[in-house]
Amino acid sequence: MATRVGIALGSNLGNRLAHLRTARDMLRKLMPEDALYMQAPVYQSEPLDCPPNSPDFYNTVIEIDYVGRPHELLEYTQGIEFHFGRGVVHQTNAPRIIDVDILYFGAETIGGGILTIPHPQLTHRLFVLQPLADIRPHLILPGDKATITEHLHHLDSGEPPLNLVQSEW
């Protein structure tokens, strides 16, 4: 049986939109035929907690049906990052061609180790909350009581507003 999974995609090097499309297409290959797929618009955001002079990010969120376990999906998402040249050891928040993060995995919660679900920063980052609210405004994460839209309205991260890059991509 398939699980609804939210995945954040980000890029701030090279052809950012093309990188997001390639990562999206790689993730869609995991889906069963005729599965429900959702994708948010792409937004541009200023780098947060990144080295000085880091380029702006393009960020979005997709939701797919996935048949498998969370750690199997983590291996696949890390494989996408490695495909784009991301090494095993990388500077925290350094510019990157692609960043692929599992945000939620159905009703599952996983704590600690190499995978935490729901993603611990999900409700604290505008560049994740806004695109997620575009596709799943009423989603309530496992262990939470507020909807994604409620988190977005109460967010006080100090991040500058996002710029819409492209609705359909």
> In the prediction, which pLDDT does 88 show?
54
> In the prediction, which pLDDT does 168 show?
94
Tens digit of each residue's pLDDT (9 = 90 or more) over 2-16: 999 999 999 999 999
29 close to 93: Cβ distance less than 8 angstroms: no
Q: What are 38's strand-pairing partners?
A: 63
> In the prediction, which pLDDT does 17 show?
97
> In the prediction, which pLDDT does 152 show?
97
3-class secondary structure, 165: strand
CB atoms within 10 A of CB 44: 17
> In the prediction, which pLDDT does 47 show?
85
- Its sign, for the CA torsion 131, 124, 55, 10, is negative
Q: What CA–CA distances, in Å, run from 125 to 35, 80, 151? A: 28, 23, 10
> In the prediction, which pLDDT does 91 show?
62
Place of tokens 């935490």: 116
Averaged pLDDT, 25-33: 93
Tens digit of each residue's pLDDT (9 = 90 or more) over 124-166: 999 999 999 999 999 999 999 999 999 999 999 888 999 999 9
CB within 8 Å of 113: residues ≥ 6 apart: none
CA neighbours within 13 Å on the CB side: how many for 127? 23
> In the prediction, which pLDDT does 113 show?
84
Tens digit of each residue's pLDDT (9 = 90 or more) over 33-74: 889 999 999 999 988 777 778 899 999 999 999 999 999 999
Q: Decide yes or no: CATH 3.30.70.330 for domain 3-166.
A: no
Tens digit of each residue's pLDDT (9 = 90 or more) over 88-109: 555 666 778 999 999 999 999 9
Is there a cis peptide before residue 118, judged by omega within 30 degrees of 0?
Answer: yes
Kind plus residue range of the DSSP H or E element containing 58: strand 57-66
Averaged pLDDT, 81-90: 74
Domain ranges of the chain: 3-166
114 close to 20: Cβ distance less than 8 angstroms: no
> In the prediction, which pLDDT does 136 show?
98
31 close to 148: Cβ distance less than 8 angstroms: no
